[in-house]
């Protein structure tokens, strides 16, 4: 019955404090009271009229002699400008894999909730429906968080993954990669990419890259494999992914292929220039030769906003991989963007101009050709004027 109320409040969370005027609040309260059948004056006082939000600290204890599970919750938000909240929520107590739900309400700064159980619970989940608009510091053990990943709810697994310590990161990843929720598998792959020793779960990652039905998860697995030291062994996977109907998967396959066999990726890239522009731009920037200069310069004719930002990044990277004559021929494009730049693009264009200036300066010092050296000097002077 609080669902509609909380959905409205969730919207308010991202708006300013004056999102509703007093008449609108009154009308909204009447409508919600009609739906819930309760006096919701307290609800509106704390969520609409008061400032701040609840911050909860949760601790757990178990009395083995009395067979009681104890949950201690404290509201730790600054009391000088935020009152104590009245918070209704559900607590699930798991024993032998089954959850017993208890509907509770917190009305004090510190409150203890005690539950009779047959034996020590494997897990306790406060705010089991994840409806509270609060910061929650849930001080569970890693074993409890790992157990929570077996919960039938997606949010339980997600919150567990976010709270498990780095010490048990590997165990958490293996749980996540085997989850029935694709969103949890995706988080698992992303978490795995940040861990140093990946041998324990690389087999699972490889299977996901081969057989995963969700394109986001499959794409993430391919990207992880492409960043490994032994990525060459996954060449057949990258080539197979390029043939997939999903552009997301095909793009990850093409990026992976480029890191293993740049020439083969460069040969395939032109057929993806329209559909996978960002991937192709990155490949050309890192591995393309002088013949790709016209491709980049042509893109500048119709690019603006964030597209222009990423194009400047890739084009600058491309130029820095070329010899001095190509750099000097291509730099006027960056100069033109800087001259025309407005708003935030001014700083962006100057950053990349400064970057290419450093490269030209280094090459200028060792260049033997007098004509090229003279051209480089003139280019550096133009850039310096634009950077003033």
Could you give the 3-state DSSP secondary structure of residue 381?
helix
Q: Check: CB of residue 308 under 8 Å from CB of residue 337.
A: yes
Give the pLDDT confidence of 15-41 residue by residue, as tens digits: 444 444 554 555 555 565 565 666 665
Picking from 44-48, 117-121, 329-333, which range would have the lowest pLDDT averaged per residue? 44-48
The whole-number average pLDDT for the span 180-189 is: 95
Token pair listed for 9: 């409040």
Region class of 152: left (phi > 0), else alpha (psi between -120 and 50), else beta: alpha
C-alpha distances out from residue 353 to 342, 344, 359, Å: 15, 15, 10
- What is residue 13's predicted lDDT score, i.e. its pLDDT? 44
Cα–Cα distance measured from residue 180 to residue 91, given in angstroms and rounded to the nearest whole number: 23
DSSP β-ladder status, 98-106 and 123-126: unpaired
The whole-number average pLDDT for the span 265-283 is: 97
- What is residue 199's predicted lDDT score, i.e. its pLDDT? 86
Could you give the 3-state DSSP secondary structure of residue 193?
coil
The whole-number average pLDDT for the span 144-168 is: 91
Across all residues in the chain, what is the average pLDDT?
Answer: 89
Q: Check: CB of residue 237 under 8 Å from CB of residue 204.
A: no
User: Is the pLDDT assigned to residue 205 strictly greater than 50?
Assistant: yes
DSSP 2: -
Q: Check: CB of residue 272 under 8 Å from CB of residue 279.
A: yes
pLDDT band at 312 (very low <50, low <70, confident <90, very high): very high
- What is residue 79's predicted lDDT score, i.e. its pLDDT? 79
| Number of residues that make up the chain | 388
The whole-number average pLDDT for the span 110-132 is: 94
Residues sharing a CB contact under 8 Å with residue 38, sequence separation 6 or more, in sequence order: 1
* Burial readout 293-332 (b: 16 or more C-beta within 10 A, e: otherwise): bebbeebbeeeeeeebbebbbbbbbbbebbebbbbbbbbe
Cβ count near 129 (within 10 Å) = 16
Candidates 168, 67, 69, 179; CA nearest to 125 is 69
Cα–Cα distance measured from residue 45 to residue 238, given in angstroms and rounded to the nearest whole number: 57
User: Is the pLDDT assigned to residue 200 strictly greater than 90?
Assistant: no
- What is residue 216's predicted lDDT score, i.e. its pLDDT? 97
Which residues pair with residue 60 across a beta bridge?
A: 71
Q: Check: CB of residue 77 under 8 Å from CB of residue 65.
A: no
Give the pLDDT confidence of 319-337 residue by residue, as tens digits: 999 999 999 999 999 999 9
């Amino acid at each position: 019955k609080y669902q509609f109320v909380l959905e409205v409040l969730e919207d308010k969370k991202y708006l300013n404090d004056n999102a509703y005027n007093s008449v609108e609040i009154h009308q909204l309260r009447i409508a919600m009271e009609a739906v819930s059948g309760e006096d919701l004056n307290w609800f509106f006082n704390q969520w609409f009229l008061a400032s701040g939000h609840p911050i909860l600290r949760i601790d757990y204890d178990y009395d083995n002699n009395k067979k009681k599970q104890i949950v201690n919750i404290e509201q730790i938000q600054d009391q000088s400008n935020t009152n104590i909240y009245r918070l209704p929520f559900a607590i699930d107590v798991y024993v032998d894999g089954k959850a017993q739900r208890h509907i509770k309400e917190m009305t004090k700064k510190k409150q203890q909730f005690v539950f009779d159980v047959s034996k020590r619970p494997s897990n306790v989940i406060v705010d089991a429906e994840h409806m509270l608009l609060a910061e929650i510091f849930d001080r569970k053990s890693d074993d409890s968080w790992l157990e929570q990943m077996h919960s039938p709810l997606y949010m339980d697994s997600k919150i567990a993954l976010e709270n498990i310590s780095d010490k048990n990161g590997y165990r958490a990843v293996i749980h996540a990669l085997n989850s029935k929720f694709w969103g949890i598998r995706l988080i698992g792959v992303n978490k795995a990419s940040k861990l140093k020793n990946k041998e324990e779960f690389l087999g699972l990652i490889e299977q996901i890259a081969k057989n995963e039905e969700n394109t986001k998860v499959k794409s993430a697995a391919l990207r992880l494999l492409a960043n490994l030291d032994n990525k060459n062994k996954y060449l057949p996977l990258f080539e197979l992914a390029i043939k997939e109907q999903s552009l997301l998967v095909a793009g990850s396959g093409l990026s992976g292929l480029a890191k293993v066999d740049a020439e083969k990726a460069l040969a395939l890239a032109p057929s993806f220039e329209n559909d996978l522009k960002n991937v192709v731009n990155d490949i050309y920037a890192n591995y393309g030769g002088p013949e790709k200069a016209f491709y980049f310069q042509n893109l500048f004719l119709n690019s603006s906003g964030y597209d222009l930002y990423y194009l400047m990044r890739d084009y600058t990277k491309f130029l820095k991989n070329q010899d001095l004559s190509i750099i000097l021929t291509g730099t006027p494009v960056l100069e033109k963007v800087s001259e025309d730049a407005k708003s935030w693009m001014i700083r962006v264009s100057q950053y990349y101009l400064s970057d290419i200036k450093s490269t030209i300066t280094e090459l200028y010092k060792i260049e033997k050709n007098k004509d090229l050296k003279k051209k480089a000097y003139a280019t550096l002077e133009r850039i310096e004027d634009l950077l003033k």
